[in-house]
Amino acid sequence: MDWLLSWYTFWAVIALSVSAVTATWFLGLWPVITATLSTSAGRKAVLIAAGGFLVWVLSIFLYTKGKQSAQDAIKKNSQRLEDERNARDANLKNLPPDKLRDAANPWVRD
C-alpha cells in the first residue's frame, strides 16, 4: 500500500492527467466529449465507466490490505510457534535422562 501513497505515484498521476488532457485537446476530442456528456445516455455511460473504475481501484486497495493482513497473521503465528518450541526445548533440557526418554515418546511406558 505504500507505493500508492508515495510521491512518485502522486506525480505519475499528475503527469498522466496532463498527458490525457493534452492528447484530448490536440486530437480534437473535446467536441466528442461535450457531445457525449450533453445526452442522457452519454452521461449514463460516463457514470457507469467511472463507477467501474472506482470498483477496480477499490478492489486493488482491498486486495493489498487483505494481503498485508494475511502476511501479518502468518508472521505472528510463526513467532508464536517459535516461542512455544523454544519454551518446550528449554523444558526438555532440564529433564533427567529417564524423563527425557518418556517425554520424547509418551506412548512407550515401562
Q: Is the pLDDT of residue 109 over 70?
A: no
* 3-class state of residue 110 by DSSP: coil
Amino acid identity, position 101: R
Question: Which residues neighbour 68 within 8 Å (Cβ) at sequence distance 6 or greater?
Answer: 1
* 3-class state of residue 106 by DSSP: coil
The torsion of the CA quartet 68, 70, 72, 78, rounded to 10 degrees, works out to -150
Q: Which residue's entry shows cell 515401562?
A: 110
pTM (predicted TM-score): 0.46
Q: Is the pLDDT of residue 24 over 70?
A: yes
pLDDT digits (tens, 9 = 90+) for 71-87: 888 999 999 988 888 88
pLDDT digits (tens, 9 = 90+) for 50-67: 999 899 888 988 888 888
Backbone angles phi, psi at 3, to 5 degrees: -65, -30
